[in-house]
Amino acid sequence: MKLLQIALFASLAVFATSFSNASQELITNGDFETEDFSGWTVRDQGLEGTGSFTIEAPGTNSTVPGLYSRPTPTNDSSNFYAVSDGNQGAPAVHVMLQNFTVTDPNQSILLSFQMFVNGWIWSSGSRADSATSDLFARVDILSSDADPFSLSTGVLLNIYNGIDPASTNAFQQYSQDISSVVATSGTYTLRFLVSDNISGPGTGSINQGVDNVHVTVQPVPEPTTMGFFGLGLAGLIWKGRKRFFGK
């Protein structure tokens, strides 16, 4: 009987260990606590001096003078985050991206991040309440060979496309299982994009703030592991029935 108990609990331990040692982070410097873009690539499309992504501290003023202040990330330990600095008087598109590699497609892969997208209409002096064809932010999974500024070719999954409502000025939490999109072993690209590709009277600016970015791997239990778990569970049920019926 003792040998049976040992076998039962050993099978459960194998199942538990398969999960406890499974979590793996695929993104480098997703919280920007290095106070720089280590691990990330930032690129700009537009005239020189029309803005880019920068690193800022929570609660500091917008890099577009005279507008709203930055919200504070929901993670209290966060000291820095990335943010685009809006329209600087000429059309521009800015991207912040990082490649990550999937080595085993038999995995559950979760993307999570915190983000705010605040738009501003200069002519009315008010927040933009909706995106336009030129004023918007995106979050995408791209193929590794895609053009960093592409909105179609090479875009495997679009997670966000628009502007936060004017009533919102806080980081929002986003989480999505991307396993089906990265189901083949290889390298993929996570991209944050902001377009303030507008100019002239009545145009605006936009700030996309990003923090606590994670692409986390959680392997799916293999059939042999599930078999051990089933054996252990069945054994425990059988042992409990014997005690209950006194046999």
182 alpha carbon, distance to own chain's centre: 14
CA–CA dist 109, 17 (Å, integer)? 19
Judge contact between 38 and 96, C-beta under 8 A: no
Residue 66's pLDDT is 40
Q: At 10, which helix (H) or strand (E)?
A: helix 2-20
Q: Give the class (CATH, top level) of 24-222.
A: mainly beta
The interaxial angle of helices 2-20 and 223-245, nearest 10 deg, is 140
CA–CA dist 128, 138 (Å, integer)? 16
Predicted confidence (pLDDT) at residue 195 exceeds the cutoff of 70: yes
Q: Specify the amino acid at residue 185.
A: S
Q: At 163, which helix (H) or strand (E)?
A: none
Nearest CA to 168 out of 196, 209, 214, 125 is that of 209
CA–CA dist 20, 18 (Å, integer)? 6
Nearest CA to 188 out of 101, 109, 111 is that of 101
Going by pLDDT thresholds of 50, 70 and 90, the confidence category of residue 172 is very high
Judge contact between 179 and 108, C-beta under 8 A: yes
Residue 183's pLDDT is 94
Residue 225, classed as helix, strand or coil, is: helix
**How confident is the model over 205-233, as pLDDT tens digits?**
788 999 999 999 987 665 544 454 455 54
Most confidently modeled of 27-36, 57-66, 124-133?
Answer: 27-36
Is the pTM of the predicted complex or chain greater than 0.85? no
Torsion from C-alpha of 49, 121, 82, 161, nearest 10 degrees: -110
What are the CB-based long-range contacts (under 8 Å, 24+) for 198-203? Answer: 198/87, 198/91, 198/132, 198/134, 198/135, 199/87, 199/89, 199/90, 199/91, 201/123, 202/121, 202/122, 202/123, 202/124, 203/87, 203/121, 203/122, 203/123, 203/135
The CB density around residue 132, as the number of other CB atoms within 10 Å, is: 16
Q: Domain segments of the chain: what residues? A: 24-222
Q: Mean pLDDT in the chain?
A: 78
Residue 245's pLDDT is 53
CA–CA dist 166, 184 (Å, integer)? 39
Predicted confidence (pLDDT) at residue 98 exceeds the cutoff of 70: yes
Q: Cβ-count burial of 88 within 10 angstroms (0-12 exposed, 13-18 middle, 19+ buried)?
A: middle
